[in-house]
């Protein structure tokens, strides 16, 4: 079984039978358990912290405050604004203030109650509008102007003139609620210092390399003295793309006490750590020429970022830069503000930065097309950008299977026969999207490979692959086995993957921006090709015999390396490299919904999703990624929202109150793979993990319009919002008749 085959996940059995080792399964003799004290205030100055009474509690071994970890951190070097434990002030309800290490979790929790913190409560801003209106209330001192994390204003062509001369214009305001990742596994980290003073961290992170860098810097240790290991991961979806307070605290406490230390977040703490989808307000204009071609797009976006930057600088760019396909724009402008607010920090959630604007744009495109009497699928076909072209903002598109995606969902859904003809309360909607296959450049500038792979052959016929890549459920370790089988002719079940260990494996920058299959795949392919040439030259009746003969010729153990080298991509303007990617995936969805017009209760009956992944290296895994993405999109459309009260307290930080769809709420999903065979990807492959999410939400919104004639522009699409729009529609109809 090699590339293109349906090979099962190599870690599937261990995850299913409970034998797999996750971070919380790791335990050591004399291990301490630590807990974090969190702020009860959204915004307050810290006047003093007294841990003396907590230290007197039997079983408490050590306490930690922020003055012992003064350096601020963050993955992006230009926006490092977080401290493991706050010293000067807290910026949201849940911000970390102090840490206690004890013999057990119960004792540590009891000790937290004995810590005395003197707060001076400050005014808080809880929305991006407030943050703009009150620059004197400074949420985060990292902001150079008021509470602005990042402001991006880019224009390509004369937008105003194009809008003025357009045949049809849709100009509306859209709102996207914040949502979070809700992975099964909470954040967990374990630290241990060995007899030589080497620090090892086991963490449920999806960025071992960047975490390694920040731990070394904040702790003041040589990078050679720090080791980060990622065990099995129980879901991440972008929510573990940052370093977190628990990793720094367990490390410092292990150094301080000489004992292993563990912190496991409760589910409530996961909600406070957040890093989920940014709430956005979007003022969108889509202008069409008389033939339905896009004359101009104008996008004004206000982004709620929460208390810290996280990846917010990137978010401010992605919100505009990633919208310019799969359609050709005549002219384009976007103006985005990412604001600091006194709420848990937002970050990258699956489809980072572009899910929200895609919703607004695809709905607005339908509205403009309707004014010209054009079928929604037809208007998308007419605007197809093509292959081997540059977008209006200077991004290079190579392969493009979007038209095939449209064809498949049109046929599978019976679009031509059924749209507008299903009767009251039932409808179909379509949407398309584009997403990156990895960011073109690393987060910190350097000329080194973004991904590295080492492959070693044993005389027994076993293959060992050393990869820094993070398998967060997408199956990269399985793909490495298949690539080895493809190139070397070995049995993929005889491949051992050593992954995500900064002491043992080459650097990989992490599982984010759908970079892994593309970049790690190319690195592995290169390494295996080098070894394959030696095996072919040596000959042999079996794979093991070929390994033995080649080793005899070589006179040394057989090994080879491969890497992914950064390509120079992007527009030649400030920010033009953000959103640039070596390849883009494309997606088209059709959703079918049913609506009870008396109650506003609605349901997604089914979604047909076609995704251009370049080449499906493992069709089973690709279909799983498509289905998972579509599920998450449908979930955000239906019910997911982070809700805060007037004091900045998150309502219901639990999986009981934060609603996500169960199997009973999940629509029928039909995943269809489109292969465009990208010229630059490994075996033609592109991303499949995030792109399929984007189109689900606007397809549902457009289906609601087909079902009952309402345009819903605010997420989630709660039944009460649907009912309100239905009643407004009813009043307008009555006025028209009168």
Predicted confidence (pLDDT) at residue 548 exceeds the cutoff of 80: yes
Instruction: Compute the average pLDDT of residues 219-233.
Output: 98
State the pLDDT at residue 242: 97
- Reference 634, options 689, 693, 577; nearest CA is 693
DSSP H stretches of helix in 581-738: 619-638, 691-694, 696-708, 719-737
Q: Whose structure tokens read 């709430």?
A: 279
Between CA 404 and CA 432 the distance in angstroms is 12
In angstroms, what CA-CA distances link 596 with 462, 518, 593, 605, 665?
60, 44, 10, 13, 16
Mean pLDDT value of segment 538-567: 96
What string of H, E and C letters represents the secondary structure of 229-249? ECCECCCCCCCCCCCCHHHHH
Query: Reduced to 3 states, what is the DSSP secondary structure of residue 596?
Result: coil
Query: Which three-class secondary structure string do you get for 86-140?
Result: CCCEECCCCCEEEEEEECCHHHHHHHHCCCEEEEEECCCCCCHHHHHHCCCCCCC
Query: Does the pLDDT at position 571 exceed 90?
Result: yes
pLDDT of residue 738 exceeding 90, the answer is: no
Q: What is the pLDDT of residues 453-467, one digit of tens each?
A: 999 999 999 999 999
The dihedral over CA atoms of 679, 580, 436, 163, expressed in degrees to the nearest 10, equals: -110
Give the contacts of 515 (CB within 8 A, at least 6 positions apart).
437, 438, 439, 450, 451, 509, 687
By the 8 A CB rule, do 520 and 451 touch? yes
DSSP bridge pairs for 283:
173, 300
Q: Which helix (H) or strand (E) holds 566?
A: none
Q: For residue 568, what are the β-bridge partners?
A: none
Residue 411: both structure tokens together:
């046929």
- Asked if 575 and 413 touch (Cβ cutoff 8 Å), the reply is no
Give the mean pLDDT of 692-713: 98
Q: How confident is the model at residue 735 (pLDDT cuts 50, 70, 90)?
A: confident
Q: How many angstroms separate the CA atoms of 649 and 657, rounded?
A: 14
Q: What is the mean pLDDT of the chain?
A: 97
What is the Cα–Cα distance from 70 to 90, expressed in whole angstroms? 14
pLDDT tens digits, residue range 315-340? 999 999 999 999 999 999 999 999 99
| pLDDT > 90? residue 239 | yes
Question: Which among 343, 400, 379 has a CA at the least distance from the CA of 679?
Answer: 400
Best CA proximity match to 601, nearest among 715, 728, 714, 722? 722
Distance CA 516, CA 480 (A): 11
Contact 377, 430 (CB under 8 A): yes
Question: What is the DSSP pairing of strand 280-288 with strand 261-264?
Answer: unpaired
Cβ contact 564:532 at 8 Å: no
- Sign (positive/negative) of CA torsion 104, 110, 116, 121? positive
User: How does pLDDT run across 481-534, given as a tens digit for each residue?
Assistant: 999 999 999 999 999 999 999 999 999 999 999 999 999 999 999 999 999 999
Distance CA 394, CA 579 (A): 10
For residue 733, pLDDT over 90 is answered with no
Q: Where does the pLDDT of residue 106 fall: very low under 50, low under 70, confident under 90, or very high at 90 and above?
A: very high
Residue 721 has pLDDT above 90, yes or no: yes
CA-derived radius of gyration, the chain: 26
| Segment 15-59, tens digit of pLDDT | 999 999 999 999 999 999 999 999 999 999 999 999 999 999 999
Distance CA 601, CA 290 (A): 37
What is the per-residue pLDDT across 48-75, written as a single tens digit (0 to 9) for each? Answer: 999 999 999 999 999 999 999 999 999 9
What percentage of the chain exceeds 90 in pLDDT? 98
Tokens standing for residue 337 = 């503000």
For residues 210 and 74, what is the distance between their CA atoms, to the nearest angstrom? 9
Beta bridge mates, 593: 427, 604
Residue 646 confidence (pLDDT): 96
CA quadruple 11, 16, 19, 20: dihedral, nearest 10 = 40
Residue 4 has pLDDT above 80, yes or no: yes
Q: How far is CA 687 from CA 7, 11, 337, 582, 680, in A?
A: 18, 21, 28, 11, 12
DSSP for 354-398, written as a single string: THHHHHHHHHHHHHHHHHTT--HHHHHHHTB--SSEE-TTSPEE-
pLDDT in tens, 408-432: 999 999 999 999 999 999 999 999 9
Distance CA 191, CA 175 (A): 42
310's torsion region: left (phi>0), alpha (psi -120 to 50) or beta? left
Number of Cβ within a 10 Å radius of residue 113: 11
Mean pLDDT in residue range 423-451 = 95
In 292-374, DSSP assigns E strands to 294-304, 331-339
Return the pLDDT at 581: 97
Give the residue-averaged pLDDT of 99-119. Answer: 98
The domains found in the chain, sorted by start residue, are 23-122+184-235+240-273 (3.90.1170.50), 280-440+573-735 (3.30.365.10), 448-564 (3.30.365.10)
> Mean of the pLDDT values across residues 652-669?
94
Cβ contacts of 553 within 8 Å, gap of 6 or more: 534, 537, 538
**Chain center to CA of 396:** 22
- Condensed to tens digits (0 to 9), the pLDDT of residues 125-143 reads 999 999 999 999 999 999 9
């Amino acid at each position: 079984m090699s590339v293109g085959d349906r090979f099962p996940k190599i870690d599937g059995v261990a995850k299913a039978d409970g034998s797999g080792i996750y971070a919380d399964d790791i335990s050591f003799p004399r291990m301490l358990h630590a807990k974090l004290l969190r702020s009860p205030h959204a915004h307050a100055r810290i006047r003093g912290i007294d841990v003396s009474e907590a230290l007197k509690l039997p079983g408490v071994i050590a306490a930690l405050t922020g003055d012992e970890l003064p350096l601020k951190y963050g993955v992006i070097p230009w926006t490092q604004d977080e401290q493991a434990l706050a010293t000067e002030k807290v910026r949201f309800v849940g911000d970390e203030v102090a840490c206690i290490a004890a013999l057990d979790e119960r004792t540590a929790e009891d000790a937290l109650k004995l810590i005395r913190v003197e707060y001076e409560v400050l005014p808080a801003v809880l929305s991006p509008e407030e943050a703009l209106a009150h620059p004197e209330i400074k949420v985060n001192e990292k902001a150079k102007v008021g509470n602005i994390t990042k402001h991006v204003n880019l224009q390509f062509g004369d937008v105003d003139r194009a809008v003025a001369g357009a045949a049809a214009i849709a100009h509306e305001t859209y709102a996207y609620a914040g949502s979070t990742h809700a992975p099964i596994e909470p954040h967990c980290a374990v630290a241990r210092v060995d007899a030589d003073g080497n620090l090892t961290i086991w963490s449920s992170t999806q960025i071992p390399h960047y975490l390694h860098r920040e731990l070394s810097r904040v702790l003041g240790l040589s990078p050679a003295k720090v080791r980060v290991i990622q065990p099995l991961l129980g879901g991440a979806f972008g929510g573990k793309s940052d370093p977190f307070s628990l990793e720094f605290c367990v490390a410092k406490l292990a150094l301080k006490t000489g004992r292993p230390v563990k912190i496991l977040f409760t589910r409530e703490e996961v909600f406070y750590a957040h890093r989920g989808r940014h709430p956005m307000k979007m003022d969108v204009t889509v202008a069409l020429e008389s033939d339905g071609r896009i004359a101009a797009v104008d996008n004004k976006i206000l982004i709620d970022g929460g208390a810290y930057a996280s990846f917010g600088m990137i978010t401010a760019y992605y919100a505009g830069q990633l919208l310019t396909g799969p359609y050709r724009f005549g002219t384009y402008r976007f103006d985005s503000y990412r604001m600091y607010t006194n709420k848990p920090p937002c970050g990258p959630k699956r489809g980072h930065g572009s899910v929200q604007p895609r919703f607004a744009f695809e709905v607005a495109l339908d509205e403009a097309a309707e004014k010209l009497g054009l079928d929604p699928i037809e208007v998308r076909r007419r605007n197809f950008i093509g292959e081997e072209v540059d977008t209006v903002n200077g991004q290079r598109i190579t392969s493009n299977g979007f038209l095939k995606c449209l064809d498949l969902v049109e046929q599978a859904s019976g679009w031509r026969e059924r749209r507008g003809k299903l009767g009251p309360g039932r409808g179909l909607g379509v949407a398309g999207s584009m997403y990156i296959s990895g960011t073109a450049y690393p987060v910190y500038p350097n000329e080194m490979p973004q991904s590295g792979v080492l492959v070693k052959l044993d005389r027994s016929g076993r293959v060992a692959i050393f990869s820094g890549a993070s398998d967060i459920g997408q199956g990269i370790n399985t793909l490495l086995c298949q690539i080895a089988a493809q190139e070397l002719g070995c049995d993929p079940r005889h491949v051992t993957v050593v992954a995500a260990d900064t002491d043992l494996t080459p650097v990989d920058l992490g599982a984010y921006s759908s970079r892994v299959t593309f970049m790690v795949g190319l690195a592995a392919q290169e390494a295996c090709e080098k070894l394959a040439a030696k095996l072919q030259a040596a000959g042999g009746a079996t794979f093991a015999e070929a390994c033995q003969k080649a080793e005899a010729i070589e006179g040394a153990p057989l090994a080879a390396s491969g890497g992914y080298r950064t390509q120079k991509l992007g527009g030649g303007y400030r920010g033009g490299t953000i959103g640039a990617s070596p390849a883009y995936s494309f997606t088209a969805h059709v959703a079918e919904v049913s609506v009870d017009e008396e109650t506003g209760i609605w349901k997604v009956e089914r979604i047909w999703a076609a995704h251009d992944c370049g080449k499906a290296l493992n069709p089973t895994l690709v279909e799983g990624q498509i289905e998972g993405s579509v599920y998450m999109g449908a979930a955000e459309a239906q019910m997911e929202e982070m809700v805060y009260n007037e004091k900045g307290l998150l309502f219901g930080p639990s999986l009981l109150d934060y609603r996500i769809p169960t199997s009973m709420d999940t629509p029928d999903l039909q995943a269809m793979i489109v292969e465009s065979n990208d010229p630059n990807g490994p075996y033609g492959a592109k991303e499949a993990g995030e792109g399929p999410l984007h189109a689900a939400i606007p397809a549902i919104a457009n289906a609601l319009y087909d079902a009952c004639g309402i345009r819903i522009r605010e997420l989630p699409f709660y039944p009460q919002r649907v009912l309100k729009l239905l009643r407004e529609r009813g009043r307008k109809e009555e006025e028209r008749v009168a």
